[in-house]
A = this chain, B = another copy of it.
Amino acid sequence: MAKHDPDLSPLFHALADPTRRSMLTRLAAGPAPVTELASPTGLALPTVMRHLSVLEVAGLIATSKDGRVRTCAIVPEALAPMQSWLDEQRLIWESRLDRLDDYVKTIMKERER
């Protein structure tokens, strides 16, 4: 009950950046070429490319080059491992809620000192 560690790190890491999350949001509306993804960010192209490659390594997007245009698209299944991890954790965490509830209250009280 803890074999959920394949490539969660790159996934979480990719999502930890607001620029990358906003790129994903943009891509959720449909595939787009690199330049189009770059323009709203105000970042230089090489910088954008590196964000994209982080997303690609994490499996969150797929890209393909047609002529001189590279088009990016989201890979919906990529979120699955994260959802599994979340489900698993929430299951354990919440089953402990009863006993934790009192505990957290104690902590909060002590923190006010």
Contact = CB atoms under 8 A, between A and B. Distances in A.
Oligomeric state, in copies: 2
B5 A18 contact: yes
Interface of A: 2, 5, 8-9, 12-13, 15-18, 21-22, 24-25, 28-31, 62-66, 71, 73-76, 79, 82-83, 86, 89-90, 92-94, 96-97, 99-100, 103-104, 106-108, 110-111
Contacts of A71: 107
B28 A93 contact: yes
B62 A107 contact: yes
Contacts of A13: 12-13, 16
A99 B30 contact: yes
Nearest to A107: B64
